[in-house]
Chains A and B, each alone.
Chain A
Amino acid sequence: SAVISQKPSRDICQRGTSLTIQCQVDSQVTMMFWYRQQPGQSLTLIATANQGSEATYESGFVIDKFPISRPNLTFSTLTVSNMSPEDSSIYLCSVVSLDYEQYFGPGTRLTVT
């Protein structure tokens, strides 16, 4: 199994500012992902965090808005840049473990005012 922690757990931010969310896993994993879950909605994949290289973004998400880092196998960050109220969501880190199971972190609840 894999235990995932995220920081911060929640934040309230002003529009125009940026927030960096951290994801730490307690064991080595094969892949790390970032998802967004807007209020009352399902999960949408933002990007795959690649170790030591640029993340792979899904349609509708771009690096300038959501820069991602993954400096090692167990840590990744997602930045939400130049925030607007539409960015208010839960942001979830997810990993695929060495036994190919997918786990989710507890999420970061972001409110943009």
Chain B
Amino acid sequence: GESVGLHLPTLSVQEGDNSIINCAYSNSASDYFIWYKQESGKGPQFIIDIRSNMDKRQGQRVTVLLNKTVKHLSLQIAATQPGDSAVYFCAENTSGTYKYIFGTGTRLKVLA
């Protein structure tokens, strides 16, 4: 099927290793952030979110870190699996609006 992210930055990781995907956001007023995973032929799926009053939030195998000083967001995936291969987007939002601004995306390739 048609692939999303043919020209996006690519991160190649060995299966079982940890992955770190980075995102720089643009609006200092943004106070809510989401990471999405988009597999080929599908729409984006919610992974994890974080509000600006937090620096770190953990989910199952995933951790999001927020550095408001430098407007940087990262997604850490522990023990990366082949099923993690996808394009990952960060999105920023300002409270009181439903408008999300999406980052450029990173393609994660998991090597067997």
Q: Which residues of A contact B (CB under 8 A)?
A: 4, 10, 31, 33, 37, 39-45, 48, 90, 92, 94, 96, 101-107, 109
Chain A residues positioned under 8 Å from B36 (CB to CB): 104
B102 lies within 8 A of A106 (CB)? no
Question: Counting chain B CB atoms within 10 Å of each CB, which of A31, A44, A104 scores highest?
Answer: A104
Q: A40-B8, A43-B89 are in contact. Are A106 and B100 (CB under 8 A)?
A: no
CA A96 to CA B4, docked complex, whole Å = 23
B34 lies within 8 A of A92 (CB)? no
Size category of the binding interface on chain B = 20 to 34
What secondary structure prevails in chain B residues at the interface with A? Answer: loop
Which 3 A/B pairs are nearest by Cβ-Cβ distance?
A40-B7, A104-B43, A43-B102
Chain A residues positioned under 8 Å from B89 (CB to CB): 42-43
Closest to A104 in B: B43
Which B77-112 residues have C-beta < 8 A from chain A? 89, 98-100, 102-105
What secondary structure prevails in chain A residues at the interface with B? Answer: strand
CA A96 to CA B99, docked complex, whole Å = 11
Closest to B107 in A: A40
Closest to A111 in B: B2
Chain B residues positioned under 8 Å from A107 (CB to CB): 41-43
Q: A33-B98, A48-B98, A90-B4 are in contact. Are A42 and B103 (CB under 8 A)?
A: yes
Q: A48-B98, A96-B98, A102-B100 are in contact. Are A37 and B46 (CB under 8 A)?
A: no
Closest to A56 in B: B99
A39 lies within 8 A of B6 (CB)? yes
| Min distance, Cβ B22 to any Cβ of chain A, angstroms | 15
| B26 at interface by CB-CB < 8 Å | no
